[in-house]
Structure 1
Amino acid sequence: MMSFTLNQNEYLERINYKGSTSEDFESLKSIRLAQHRSIPFENFDICLGKGISLEPDVLVEKLIKNKRGGYCFELNGLLLLALKSFGFQTQELLGRVHLAGEPTGRSHYVILVTIGDEKWLVDAGFGAETPLIPIPLVCNQTVSFEGQSYRLIESELYGFMLQKQYDTEWKNLYSVDLNHVCPGDIDYGNYYTSTSPKSIFVQGRIATIPVENGKKTLFNMQFKKVIDGKEEIIDLEEGESYLNILEKEFGIALGVKYKDLKPLQ
């Protein structure tokens, strides 16, 4: 990664961003949001039996030039390349996912950005639950954006726990600590997440992308669109129409036949 140079213009064009890239919070927030709204979260290379490479040139080829999406290691990997290119001070972190109650291993890849004396948790790759804005590394401080609220709390076992508010209750999303992460840690997490039979990314088909006042999500054979609180659900059929939905709703053009996808378990 040290010898890799990101083409900033290609990246900015891919995320439809024409704003500032200065090393300040407003630029950080805007760049992250632009990528999140332009590049979908998806796992369809895994569904095709392909490996997930995190080499910078492969990330650029897939996510920028081929206009595909990816999951946390890819999406935040690309965002990290961009932020470092723009001069931001960054640190890679690995987190445990708590959505199912029992925490996972360190399988979620996120970025810590330092601006002056402040640190921000930056994430563009947590699927439908992705925080919409950078989260300040300050415990018990509620951060709200577009009707969604988040906070970090201190966890004795896991470091910092990121939570999202649902009505009056707070739901655990994932936890991170600030321990050093080396390339081998990332390789281990990426390999497990993309190959283990226990991984949701191996078990199912997933795609999601935010839209204005809502989001679009695909899980296995169901497509869901929620805009302004109104929910539309479509049960999908096997065949080429499935791939048409992927391309129309998420911009994911696989260039394969439906039969090339691994059967659902």
Structure 2
Amino acid sequence: MDERQIDAYLHRIDAARPERVDGAALRELHVRHLRAVPFENLSIHLGEPISLDEDALYDKIVTRRRGGFCYELNGLFAALLTGLGFPVTLLAASVHGRDGLGPPFDHLALRVEADGPWLADVGFGRHSHYPLSLDFPGDQADPDGVFRLVPAAFGDTDVLRDGRGEYRLEARPRDLADFAPTCWWQQTSPDSHFTRSLVCSRLTDTGRVTLSGDTLIHTTGDDRVERVLSGGEVLDTYTREFGFALDRVPTVAAPVG
């Protein structure tokens, strides 16, 4: 990522170029990213192929002001952090679900060195607002819950929020290309929850705004307000709440292959 692209990316998330490579700068970039760039799976239902090529990710997230899911969001955030001088390692994770742990490479998260090792994750939907310390054994309070990182088998780490497992993080460094097969599975398999639902969600100054199908959800603390939108309101909502324009309303499509 060149200097022009870095500046445009920082403008996209309304962040100044950090003066130092430290934990405070990482925290600021992390929360601003969550507030500006939505977690969304709309490409799957708009017939847009998802590429993990850095130029394609940059075009989608920065130029077209869209969002994405973990491989896209954390993949490009890693490139930004690297361009700013942060040492970054890509890590694979298996997500905790009703039936236990999901498959390997189910999730992509980042290890970032900045006054110590941090878990940075701008691609999990609702998660911590700020990076989590990877070498602190106790509870870590965050606006979205109390997090704890617990050692698991084979050197892995369980990431817990309010006592419940979010995902199991590997320690082995990965390349973005390692996630391509699972990224393809997530966007094509009928067993992937991404092919069965529509979601677009981002952090706000007071809570979270989510468009789930045609249902608009605003959450502030424990308060949750839902409203079903008419067809004409959906496109306006993507523009007003998430900052991008679509030429048609996405609908859940039958997965291919």
Q: TM-score of the superposition, structure 1-length normalised?
A: 0.88
Equivalent position SS for 2:82: helix
The equivalent residue for 1:182 is 175
Superposed CA offset, 1:43-72 (max 9, x none): 111111221011111111111111111111
Moved more, 75-84 or 211-220: 211-220
Q: Is contact 2:38-2:201 (8 Å) kept? A: yes
Equivalent position SS for 2:21: coil
The equivalent residue for 2:114 is 115
Given candidates 145, 150, 155, the residue that maps to 1:148 is 145
Distance, in Å, in 1 between the alignment partners of 2:234 and 2:155 is: 40
- CA displacement at 1:240 relative to structure 2: 2.9
Moved more, 87-96 or 19-28: 19-28
Q: Is contact 1:21-1:28 (8 Å) kept? A: no
Once the two structures are superposed, the pairs formed by residues 84-233 of structure 1 within 5 Å of their partners are: 84-105=82-103, 106-115=105-114, 118-127=116-125, 129-138=126-135, 140-146=137-143, 148-156=145-153, 159-165=156-162, 170-233=163-226
The yes-or-no answer on 1:69 pairing with 2:105 is no
Taking a change above 3 Å as real, the CA distance of residues 39 and 18 of structure 1, as seen in their structure-2 partners, is same
Q: Is contact 1:158-1:176 (8 Å) kept? A: no
The equivalent residue for 2:251 is 261
The yes-or-no answer on 1:8 pairing with 2:6 is yes
Q: Which amino acid aligns with 1:156?
A: A
Equivalent position SS for 1:179: coil
Distance, in Å, in 2 between the alignment partners of 1:207 and 1:177 is: 27
Q: Which amino acid aligns with 2:194?
A: F
Q: Which amino acid aligns with 2:60?
A: K
Q: Which amino acid aligns with 1:119?
A: P
Distance, in Å, in 2 between the alignment partners of 1:59 and 1:108 is: 17
Please list every run of 5 or more consecutive structure 1 residues that lacks an aligned counterpart in the other structure. none
The equivalent residue for 1:234 is 227
Please list every run of 5 or more consecutive structure 2 residues that lacks an aligned counterpart in the other structure. none
Taking a change above 3 Å as real, the CA distance of residues 47 and 74 of structure 1, as seen in their structure-2 partners, is same
Taking a change above 3 Å as real, the CA distance of residues 233 and 8 of structure 1, as seen in their structure-2 partners, is same
Distance, in Å, in 2 between the alignment partners of 1:26 and 1:59 is: 26
Distance, in Å, in 1 between the alignment partners of 2:128 and 2:97 is: 14
Distance, in Å, in 1 between the alignment partners of 2:85 and 2:17 is: 15
Taking a change above 3 Å as real, the CA distance of residues 183 and 10 of structure 1, as seen in their structure-2 partners, is closer
Distance, in Å, in 1 between the alignment partners of 2:236 and 2:253 is: 18
Superposed CA offset, 1:148-178 (max 9, x none): 221111222681011111xxxx111111111
- The root-mean-square deviation of aligned C-alpha atoms, in Å, is 2.0
- CA displacement at 1:195 relative to structure 2: 1.6
- CA displacement at 1:253 relative to structure 2: 1.5
Q: Is contact 1:214-1:226 (8 Å) kept? A: yes
Taking a change above 3 Å as real, the CA distance of residues 158 and 221 of structure 1, as seen in their structure-2 partners, is farther
Given candidates 12, 26, 36, the residue that maps to 1:38 is 36
Equivalent position SS for 1:212: coil
Distance, in Å, in 1 between the alignment partners of 2:181 and 2:194 is: 15
- CA displacement at 1:184 relative to structure 2: 4.0
- CA displacement at 1:140 relative to structure 2: 3.4
Taking a change above 3 Å as real, the CA distance of residues 262 and 226 of structure 1, as seen in their structure-2 partners, is closer
- CA displacement at 1:192 relative to structure 2: 1.3
- CA displacement at 1:18 relative to structure 2: 2.0
Q: Which amino acid aligns with 2:236?
A: N
- CA displacement at 1:229 relative to structure 2: 2.9
